[in-house]
Amino acid sequence: MFKVVLNKPYMEKAMLRHNLSRKLLAKKIGITSSYLCRILSGKQAPTAAVRQQLLDYFKGSSFDDLFTIQENGAGDDD
């Protein structure tokens, strides 16, 4: 099983370039700031809809810029 997680270092740089606080970015993409904080901290994976909202907002960024794919569960015993 795989999950898509936010590329936090890239996202933080993108937010700085756009002069965005977490609260303002959350408002602009239609989510709560607490949900955005959980995504940024890796506690929660962004939904497909939120991933698309982020891609739409950061138009110059690709999926590979904003997100990474991690294996979830399989191989944890290695």
pLDDT in tens, 17-58: 999 999 999 999 999 999 999 999 989 999 999 999 999 999
Q: Is residue 78 part of a domain?
A: no
65 is a domain residue: yes
Instruction: Indicate whether 76 belongs to any domain.
Output: no
What is the pLDDT at residue 73? 66
Q: What is the mean pLDDT of residues 6-19?
A: 96
Print the domain residue range for 34. 2-71
3-state SS, the chain, equals CEEEEECHHHHHHHHHHCCCCHHHHHHHHCCCHHHHHHHHHCCCCCCHHHHHHHHHHCCCCCHHHHEEEEECCCCCCC
CATH of the domain at 32: 1.10.260.40
Residue 5 has a pLDDT of 93
Q: Is the pLDDT at 76 greater than 60, yes or no?
A: no
Domain count, the chain: 1
Per-residue confidence (pLDDT) for residue 78, from 0 to 100: 45
